[in-house]
Structure 1
Amino acid sequence: MTFLGITLDTLTMTLCLPDDKLQDLLQTLPTWLHRHSCTKRELLSLIGTLSFACKCIPAGRIFLRRMIDLSTTVRKLRDTINLSDAFRLDAKWWCDFLPTWNGTASFLDTKWTPSRDLDLYTDASGTVGSGGYHAGHWFTVAWPDSLQASIEWKEMYPILVTCSIWGHRWHGRRVLFHCDNQTVVHIWKKGTTRCPDIMQLVRSIFYVAAKGNFHVMIAHVSGIDNSIADALSRLQIEVPSIGARSGCRPHTCTNATMSIPLATQQLTELATAYIHNSVAGNTRRTYQVGQKCYLDFCSSHGLATLPVTSRTAILFVTNLANRGLAYRTIKVYLAGVMHHHIERGYADDVTTHALLQRTLQGIRRSIGEVRRPRLPITIDLLRRLKECLRQRADMCSNDKLMVWASFTLAFYGFLRVSEFTARSPTEFDVNATLLARDIVLTDVIEIRIKSSKTDPYVRGHTIHIAPTGTSVYAVRAYGKYTGNRGYMCPEEPAFQFVDGTWLTRQRLNLCLRELLTQAGISDAKMYVTHSFRSGAATTAAEAGLADWLIKTLGRWRSDAYQIYIKTPRETLDVVPKAVATRQQFDIGLSSRWTMPTL
């Protein structure tokens, strides 16, 4: 059967490039190696023919990248393009590969096969060597003293050796390699790097993959999870009479004893979990953004990623400042980079370097620290939101009651949004999300917060909310919501829409903005989900509650709560007169409003 010009054989599960297309490529490609220029039309025609061949040779797509980039240097089809050395390298790959290929390829698996399913691991040591392991077979390579190569090159070398030795076993597979170097993963996903030596390895791996009719992808795995290959890379093996070795020639063997006993492997896996849990999930995700920026920066400037030196860190933060990032963002990104540095086993913390500290201080003084203004949600505003919510015709009664219950609990409980919302509409963290069983409703509400920003060691905290007897009544609001909903699974999030999805930060923020706009609040964008917590602190201060009590209610460990308290305009208007007349300063707030019982 022929489909889109490709011959498909469903009995042998193969696809074949038409013979006339293959012969045309074999005849025309060598002539391109000797050409110095061409028109854009001619180059696009060649790219189109090779793209067609890539339907049978997926690994060949990377060797079109520089051809495509070259075709974009001019606009008109008749314009002349000077062929670059990079173009000739791509063309030469095709010239080397096509004569060895019979034009037929097997269907590749629809899913990627993780290297663990193949019992396949690779790793490299910066100073000792590299190694790989596959289904009881392994190899080691000892680095010669004369070798001058980056750690990224050394990490990618055993992948090439692995493909060369065992690639014939993976015919038709999509093999997902695991590597403990994020830079290697980044280079592979981009398909290019400024380092010619690493690029040569990338091209070689794709050549072997194309000949073996398999496809390769590289994903990151923590170094401590890669214990077998890590031991091989450090030559921690027991081999009877290996003999002297020199150069980068791999030594392979099937009968050898690894120097990592089973108990050590189990301890290694446990240590991995502990290291992973040393940082909160949200913090780790934020760090990953900074790490990606760092990898992009190092790749584009030809800098080694690890170990992180003071010079690299200074250039990195300078680049971020030049791009217009806020000072606080720069600090977070730098913390993410250093987290990656430490996880990779490097002990030196360059953030304490005097020159880096001065650079950060200079950035802070130059660009300042701009804080986006955020307004608090007060009792009066909550009453207006309640009325607007009641008028919403596009929401069912369950969703209205659920949203109002979340508003009141967030306010009276001084809750952070991450403490009562789910991670996504369909996923939640049982150890962090507020579940139905975490809220006990009697004549009061008892909320059990399992973990929070200020409770990283999961000691937990119980919040007590008593009745108020006013229209903003958390106990009654949550009681109406649960009564309307009926049965609630105790192991699921407490706040659930009628369509079965969970309440998330994004959904809550969207609903809040819509209600504020409906209420005619002109600066609705200055209110966020955190405005409930800051509004509770502001209202408590207006009611004259003691500082220690506000800190207790909000579970603040320092005086940071004071930044959330917004001083009313009428309070500021009293100050000049009180100072001028030396009268006792009395803002008179308690006579106008009393904080409800919490």
Structure 2
Amino acid sequence: MWLEFLEHFNGTSFFINEKHLSSDSLCLYTDASGSKGFGAIYKRDWFFGAFPESWHKANITFLELYPIVIAVILWGHLWKNHTLVFNTDNEALVSVISKQTSKENNVMFLIRKLVLCCLKQNIIFLARHIRSKDDSLADALSRFQIDRFKELAPHCKQTPTTLDPSLQPEIFCKGLKSVNASLAPSTVETYKRGWKHFDTFCCSYLGEAMSLPVSVSILALLVAYLHQKRMSAKSILTYLSSISYVHKLSNMTDPTNHFLISTLIRGAQRLAPSYDLRLPITVCLLDKLISALSYTCESYYYKTLLSAMFLFAFNAFSRCSEITFSKPSTEQFIFQFADISFHDETTNDTSVTVTYRFFKHNYGKPHNLTFSHGHTKVSVIQALKNYIAIRICRACPLFFPTFRRTCSKENV
């Protein structure tokens, strides 16, 4: 953003007019309706439009900010060298505009657009909360109540200002989709947990809501707080990466790279070292697990199910989330019955092909993996055939118990 501004900045700047121009004095009103659209009025000019269906469940702060940004792009040259006070009926947006920052990627995308436009016009902006009933004109436009709007504002022009195609929601925010898609769903969930911990820390120990940028001193206290909650150094680093990501995306200095923070992490690692006590699954250990199923399973179905699951996971290099249900965000990764196929030479099946349709870095392109009998005492192909032979339903996940839709990670 700053590089783009400086590229066209000639080094000349005028003094800001001491008089604050509020939305009332400007006759500027903006509003958004989550399931419909947006609208804005400036004196006699006005515009409105519909949000694409994919935006209907978007953060309302993001939707309310959009018409403000478009208004500044259209009419900002008329407010040059002034301080603007935007009126909005969204309290969260007042905070975002005042601080010029947010942890939400889509909101920050618009904030950067707003700041850049105001820098070019030498505009300082603030925000003030108003009651919804005081924003009736823009509210009518955002709900496509054009006749009602014209009754309330007979002084306005009869036809709206036509928005350039580049200012339409989907085109204007075309880069936003790429930013949101850059993170895997599991990473997004992890980052949300990290921010939730940070928010709890700020409210409980600092007595205030979190804000950006995060200072090194506050981040150091956060590390101490997480360590006191007996989190491993690895978990603390994972949560700090969510804070780092938002700062980088907002073009702010990343506080997680500070020497003090890295020193605290090393100290946490030495004070509470963590070791992975899990044994790697070898062929010998897998044979023992399969053999033990005869003594630990309550039915033939479960013995056959778990035998096929263990051997399949070993030979297909599958993750737990691909054969069992652990949380809604990973349910799409679970293998379906249609994802496996047998290949035979004459009458004996010699190999199995597994289609990975959803995984962290597939970008929508399926990947096939083929394996044969393997080196275990029990053939994986035979184990799968035995399991499939007693399956009742074949239009569902590959592995499932008789009384559930999918196998849960805990029960396996």
Q: TM-score, normalised by structure 1?
A: 0.43
What is the aligned partner in structure 2 of residue 405 from structure 1? 308
Task: Give the Å deviation of 1:405.
Answer: 0.8
- CA gap of 1:375–1:132, structure 2 versus 1, over 3 A, is closer
Asked if the contact 2:244–2:254 (Cα under 8 Å) also holds between the matched residues in 1, the reply is yes
What is the aligned partner in structure 1 of residue 268 from structure 2? 363
What is the aligned partner in structure 2 of residue 434 from structure 1? 335
Task: Give the Å deviation of 1:417.
Answer: 1.8
- CA gap of 1:180–1:502, structure 2 versus 1, over 3 A, is farther
Task: Give the Å deviation of 1:485.
Answer: 1.5
Structure 2 letter corresponding to 1:448? T
- CA gap of 1:469–1:222, structure 2 versus 1, over 3 A, is closer
SS where residue 445 of structure 1 aligns?
strand
Task: Give the Å deviation of 1:505.
Answer: 2.6
Equivalenced residue count is 314
Task: Give the Å deviation of 1:464.
Answer: 2.8
Asked if the contact 2:335–2:356 (Cα under 8 Å) also holds between the matched residues in 1, the reply is yes
Asked if the contact 1:317–1:330 (Cα under 8 Å) also holds between the matched residues in 2, the reply is yes
Can you list the C-alpha shifts for 1:190-244, whole angstroms capped at 9, x where unaligned?
Answer: xxxxxxxxxxxxxxxxxxxxxxxxxxxxxx97534996x99889988xxxxxxxx
- CA gap of 1:271–1:246, structure 2 versus 1, over 3 A, is closer
SS where residue 355 of structure 2 aligns?
strand
What is the aligned partner in structure 1 of residue 324 from structure 2? 421
What is the aligned partner in structure 2 of residue 162 from structure 1? 89
Give the Cα–Cα distance (whole angstroms) in 2 for the partners of residues 456 and 348 of structure 1.
Answer: 32
SS where residue 353 of structure 2 aligns?
strand
What is the aligned partner in structure 1 of residue 382 from structure 2? 476
Give the Cα–Cα distance (whole angstroms) in 1 for the partners of residues 109 and 375 of structure 2.
Answer: 60
SS where residue 341 of structure 2 aligns?
strand
What is the aligned partner in structure 2 of residue 307 from structure 1? 213
Asked if the contact 1:444–1:464 (Cα under 8 Å) also holds between the matched residues in 2, the reply is yes
Structure 1 letter corresponding to 2:178? Y
- CA gap of 1:461–1:268, structure 2 versus 1, over 3 A, is same
What is the aligned partner in structure 1 of residue 8 from structure 2? none
Give the Cα–Cα distance (whole angstroms) in 2 for the partners of residues 395 and 348 of structure 1.
Answer: 59
Q: Do residues 485 (structure 1) and 412 (structure 2) align?
A: no
Asked if the contact 2:286–2:376 (Cα under 8 Å) also holds between the matched residues in 1, the reply is no
Give the Cα–Cα distance (whole angstroms) in 2 for the partners of residues 131 and 270 of structure 1.
Answer: 16
Structure 1 letter corresponding to 2:305? M
Match for 1:348 among 232, 253, 260? Answer: 253
- CA gap of 1:261–1:221, structure 2 versus 1, over 3 A, is farther
Give the Cα–Cα distance (whole angstroms) in 1 for the partners of residues 219 and 65 of structure 2.
Answer: 31
- CA gap of 1:425–1:485, structure 2 versus 1, over 3 A, is farther
Q: Do residues 278 (structure 1) and 182 (structure 2) align?
A: yes
- CA gap of 1:395–1:280, structure 2 versus 1, over 3 A, is farther
Can you list the C-alpha shifts for 1:442-473, whole angstroms capped at 9, x where unaligned?
Answer: 221122334545x4656654333212586421
Task: Give the Å deviation of 1:311.
Answer: 3.0
Give the Cα–Cα distance (whole angstroms) in 2 for the partners of residues 427 and 457 of structure 1.
Answer: 15
- CA gap of 1:221–1:287, structure 2 versus 1, over 3 A, is closer
Asked if the contact 1:119–1:133 (Cα under 8 Å) also holds between the matched residues in 2, the reply is no
Q: State how 1:131-150 maps to structure 2 within 5 Å.
A: none
- CA gap of 1:180–1:482, structure 2 versus 1, over 3 A, is farther
- CA gap of 1:507–1:264, structure 2 versus 1, over 3 A, is farther
For structure 2, the 5+ residue unaligned runs are: 1-31, 39-58, 97-102, 119-124, 139-155, 344-349
Task: Give the Å deviation of 1:246.
Answer: 9.7
Give the Cα–Cα distance (whole angstroms) in 1 for the partners of residues 162 and 262 of structure 2.
Answer: 45
What is the aligned partner in structure 1 of residue 106 from structure 2? 223
- CA gap of 1:268–1:327, structure 2 versus 1, over 3 A, is farther
Match for 2:199 among 292, 295, 319? Answer: 295
- CA gap of 1:393–1:445, structure 2 versus 1, over 3 A, is closer
Task: Give the Å deviation of 1:332.
Answer: 0.5
What is the aligned partner in structure 1 of residue 3 from structure 2? none
**CA RMSD of superposed structures (Å):** 4.9
SS where residue 253 of structure 2 aligns?
coil
Give the Cα–Cα distance (whole angstroms) in 1 for the partners of residues 185 and 297 of structure 2.
Answer: 38
For structure 1, the 5+ residue unaligned runs are: 1-113, 125-129, 148-153, 164-176, 185-219, 237-244, 509-598
What is the aligned partner in structure 2 of residue 544 from structure 1? none
The structure with higher relative contact order (CA 8 Å, sep 6+) is: 2
Structure 2 letter corresponding to 1:265? P
Q: TM-score, normalised by structure 2?
A: 0.59
- CA gap of 1:223–1:377, structure 2 versus 1, over 3 A, is closer
Larger radius of gyration: 1
Q: Do residues 446 (structure 1) and 364 (structure 2) align?
A: no
Give the Cα–Cα distance (whole angstroms) in 1 for the partners of residues 256 and 329 of structure 2.
Answer: 39
Give the Cα–Cα distance (whole angstroms) in 1 for the partners of residues 286 and 323 of structure 2.
Answer: 18
SS where residue 348 of structure 1 aligns?
coil
Can you list the C-alpha shifts for 1:131-177, whole angstroms capped at 9, x where unaligned?
Answer: 6979xx9xx9x9x9999xxxxxx9xx96xx527xxxxxxxxxxxxx9
- CA gap of 1:360–1:400, structure 2 versus 1, over 3 A, is same
Task: Give the Å deviation of 1:374.
Answer: 1.0
- CA gap of 1:428–1:362, structure 2 versus 1, over 3 A, is closer
Asked if the contact 2:287–2:376 (Cα under 8 Å) also holds between the matched residues in 1, the reply is no
Structure 1 letter corresponding to 2:341? V
What is the aligned partner in structure 2 of residue 322 from structure 1? 228
Structure 2 letter corresponding to 1:348? T
Asked if the contact 2:186–2:329 (Cα under 8 Å) also holds between the matched residues in 1, the reply is no
Match for 1:331 among 237, 262, 286? Answer: 237
